[in-house]
Structure 1
């Protein structure tokens, strides 16, 4: 199996992030701060010679990927529905107060249609096996690792990394803490070569110049 360095970026900020609105599969766009964050992460990654680029098909992720690829002429992004955030069902478009109000209805069972943690974990692992493991199995070996860009969502990235760690498919590098995935953060994984994947960094925001970030990802609050 060939080796790769995988750079997984969370999309930049949206107004829904800023205002605590649950997005899920809603196709929201980057706001002015999010566009600035996309430019900063693009600058941070401009020297990485990417071979492949994948993105969620939702606009906030695809726009972040497009900003990054402006520095990588000739490389096209492949949009994948598998990289979407969790489907939050009837909660999509609601803020936390509206969510609480919906769930507070007495003696009424509400089918919210939310994607379960198990389903999302299976989706994330399935994406990894198909888009990363199978790809590396098919590529010719070379001295330099392949470089792969992935742009997705906070819930998906956290779910993927935790699934890889729990299943023994990956381990954390020295000093790496699994904490929080902020907008426009970078998570880096070394994979392939017949070895367990290595989480090199997780949710790195050092390139964002200390700007104030949205602390809570309400899509993860199920």
Structure 2
């Protein structure tokens, strides 16, 4: 084996976070990929708390969705000079025509039935005017393939969204897509994932960790 080959890392660490809180989150309004909202005051405090806890990690790259609530959640890492890429494949699921609406009984029942259909295996069922989990998974694959194709980026930070996060975790941790709701999430939670290039598999070192938010 050449020296160049022997220097290729065999593992990659991915710090996968959900964005911080927005006013839509606080009010229980579904955002999806069609609502490009900002972090609210608490969300900015969550982003700051995460930065203070993890600013000494030597991230080789920051990846985000194309939506600004993910950019804002990691902006201090980007400002520190860490290279950054955004990928629309990491965007939140499109919830369709009901995105951005004030919660109401009709919409709440619609979402309840839709999610129940996903959990029971109907992962190809799309939200009206939006996407299905299966469609989201398909657009996530190129983004993950890009990230994994760069073994010299040994430690990366990825910021994305709640439902999209649940979907991508089924792929990374080799779970059936209909089990996506077994992955908990909250604003600015962390999943720390280790990828082994030799076995081509992930394991989770931390799941939905929020210890960095204690005190907020």
Q: Runs in 1 of length 4+ with deviation above 3 angstroms?
A: none
Specify the alignment match of 1:160 in structure 2: 168
Specify the alignment match of 2:16 in structure 1: 8
C-alpha contact (below 8 Å) 2:60/2:83 kept by paired residues: no
| Distance in 2 separating the partners of 1:125 and 1:77 | 19
Structure-2 change in CA distance of 1:89 and 1:210 (3 Å): same
The question of 1:205 aligning with 2:178 is answered: no
Specify the alignment match of 2:150 in structure 1: 135
Superposed CA deviations along residues 78-122 of structure 1, whole A, max 9, x for unmatched, are 11111110011111111331652895xxxxxxx821200111122
Specify the alignment match of 1:125 in structure 2: 141
Superposed CA deviations along residues 174-198 of structure 1, whole A, max 9, x for unmatched, are xxxx541110111111113312211
With the length of structure 2 as denominator, give the TM-score of the two structures: 0.78
Residues paired across the two proteins, number: 185
Select which of 75, 80, 84 maps to 2:82.
75
Gap regions ≥5 residues in structure 1: 104-110, 140-144, 169-177, 212-222
Specify the alignment match of 2:36 in structure 1: 27
With the length of structure 1 as denominator, give the TM-score of the two structures: 0.76
Map 1:1-222; keep pairs closer than 5 Å: 2=9, 3-25=11-33, 26-70=35-79, 73-97=80-104, 100=107, 112-129=128-145, 131-136=146-151, 139=152, 146-166=154-174, 178-195=182-199, 196-209=201-214, 211=216
| Distance in 2 separating the partners of 1:188 and 1:10 | 12
| Distance in 2 separating the partners of 1:101 and 1:40 | 32
| SS of structure 1 residue aligned to 2:86 | strand
C-alpha contact (below 8 Å) 1:55/1:151 kept by paired residues: yes
| SS of structure 2 residue aligned to 1:96 | coil
| Distance in 2 separating the partners of 1:125 and 1:200 | 22
